[in-house]
Every structure is written in structure tokens, then in C-alpha cells.
Structure 1
Amino acid sequence: MTAITSARASKNLAATIMKVCDDREAVIIEHGEHHRVVMIPLEEYESICETEHQMRSPANVKRLDESLAQLNAGLGKERPINWDA
């Protein structure tokens, strides 16, 4: 993960945004010693939010754990993906 100053990020904002989106790699932006933020692509942020939402429900976590256990036990089925659906 790359870290840059807020001054550099401001000066090169468009290029920084394009690099983050193209490389799909987060950039830490530092402003002073104690102020830091992370710039990530919107899709990554949405994925993090969705994962957090799914993990909020204990019942859903249990269901996911059971599914992973079944998959690891060789009980999974490979299925084609219908991209037109």
C-alpha cells in the first residue's frame, strides 16, 4: 500500500484517483502526523460494506461457516454461470 502526503494527493488528485482505480490498490493519504485516510475504489468500499453487513447477523455467519465446511469437505457442486441472467 502506497502512502502519500495530502499536499501531493491534492496536487495530483486526478492521477491519484486513476491510479487507485486502475491498480485496485489503496493509497494512504497523510495530513500531518495523526490524520490519515485511505483512498480505495468505490467497488472495493461497497464490497467491504456488503461483507460487514453480511457478518452482522450471527445466523448468517453460521450459515456461511456451514457452507464453507461443506465445501471444504468436498460436498460442493461446480455449476456453469449464466452471465445473461
Structure 2
Amino acid sequence: MAWDRARKRLGMKDVRIHDLRHTYASLLINRGASIYEVQKLLGHYHISMTERYAHLLPDTLHQRVEIVADLLAGRNAQVARPH
């Protein structure tokens, strides 16, 4: 009931606690946390459950492709961390 009161007070009547968990996992993954770290933080026994929560932003995927491109071009590639 406390969650329902808080949602209504904030004008977020459609937001579920599950939505917050999902966002938490996606933000962590997109900030560079490993899927294994997120698995532990969420308390998932199987990594497949964590994979459902963790969505990569297109920019994050592009940054990872650039790492390989830099390595193939002989440049010193580093993992770019989104801000």
C-alpha cells in the first residue's frame, strides 16, 4: 500500500516496482557493469533471468564495436564508459 500511495503522490500511477528493477538493471549494464555483477545485485540464480532485464542502448553497442575497430586499426582501444 505504501508503494501505491507513493506512486499516486508522484503522479506515476502506472509504474510498477518491477519497472524500477528493470530500469536499475539496464542502467547498470549501460554504465559498464557486467551481467554477472547485475545478476548478483538482483539476486538471480540463473543468468538468463538477468539477460531479460538488461537492455543495451544503441550507443553502448556502437562503442563496443569501435573497440574492435580500433584494435584492428592498431589504435589503443579502451572501453568507453557512457556518462
> What's the TM-score once normalised by structure 2's chain length?
0.26
Which of the pair has the greater relative contact order for Cα pairs under 8 Å at 6+ separation? Answer: 2
Rg larger in structure: 1
Q: Which has a greater percent of strand?
A: 1
Q: Which structure features the higher share of helix residues?
A: 2
TM-score of the two chains, using structure 1 as the length reference: 0.26
